[in-house]
Structure formats: structure tokens, C-alpha cells
Amino acid sequence: MFELLDAALGEGSILLNQEASSVAECFSLAGSALVASNRTTPEYTNQMIEVFNELGPYMVIAPNIALAHARPGVDVISTGLSLVTLSEPVEFGSKKFDPVKIVIGLAAVDHDAHIDLMAQLSEFFMNVTNVNFLLQANEVGKVRALFR
């Protein structure tokens, strides 16, 4: 059903019920999951934090959801996603969509190869049932089952 999401989330890219007390910690989690699944180098994580410091909370893209990302470049190994759910919500400073409960890490090799992936991402996360399921989930296997 969401086969592009399933494929974009490599092994080690889903972290559930994580503790984070700051935006930087949220990005570290999302970034480390991208590194663990071989999508990015650790430097990409630093770039995501720099983007946030420069441009502010615009990356909070939907209610309770942040889409952490930096620019395509040498620190992106392949296009992919990571998915982090937080045990306690974190304030990102977004007037419209705080607090953040889900952080999605995005790495893209260029500006348009992941358009279909973004379509599936928005379709999946626009569905409140899916979001609530994720927030309750403690097993990666059960999250995977939702995509298949």
C-alpha cells in the first residue's frame, strides 16, 4: 500500500518511543537513524540542525510532525527516510503545529527523484488513524505491517 515508504525506511531507520528534550536531540535521533540505515553520513545530521537554526521551525510540516532535512549533497548516500516517535512531545517553536511528536528524517539525492515518495508520505501522515497508531506503537514490525 505504502511500498515506497516501506522501501525508503531502511533497516534501523525506525525508532519508537524515544526520549528527547530539545530540537537538537530530535534531529540527532532522526539523523542517527538515517546514518544507521546507510542513507547519510553523520555530517548530514549537523546540517539539519544548522538549517533549523537558520530558517526556524518551518520544518514542522503538519500537526505534531517535523520533516527534518538538509540539502542534497555529498553527505547523502541514497534517498531515504527515518522515522522517530517521541515519548514526550517537544516544542519546536511552530505557531501552527507544535508540539512535535513525530520526527521524519529525509535525505534526498536531488530535488525531484523523491516526488512519488513525498506523495505517499503525505497520504500516510494525513490519516489520523495512522498517526495515532504510530504514537502508540512499540514494535517496529507492527509499524512495517502498516505500510504493507
Q: 27, 40 in Cβ contact below 8 A?
A: no
Q: Which is nearer to another protein, 51 or 135 (CB)?
A: 51
The answer to whether 33 and 12 are in contact (CB under 8 A) is yes
Task: Select which of 28, 40, 41, 69 is catalytic.
Answer: 69
Whether 23 and 45 have beta carbons less than 8 Å apart is answered as no
The minimum distance between CB 1 and another protein, in angstroms, equals 18
Phi, psi of 7 (to 5 degrees): -70, -35
Task: Name the residues that contact another protein, by CB under 8 A.
Answer: 51, 54-59, 61-62, 67, 69-72, 95-96, 106, 108, 111-112, 114-115, 118-119, 122, 125-126
Nearer to another protein, 99 or 140 (CB): 99
- Judged by beta carbon, residue 51 or residue 140, the one nearer another protein is 51
CA-to-CA distance for 130 and 148, rounded, in angstroms?
Answer: 13
What is d(CA 140, CA 36) in angstroms, rounded to the nearest whole number?
Answer: 15
Nearest approach in angstroms of CB 38 to another protein is 19
**Residues with catalytic function:** 69
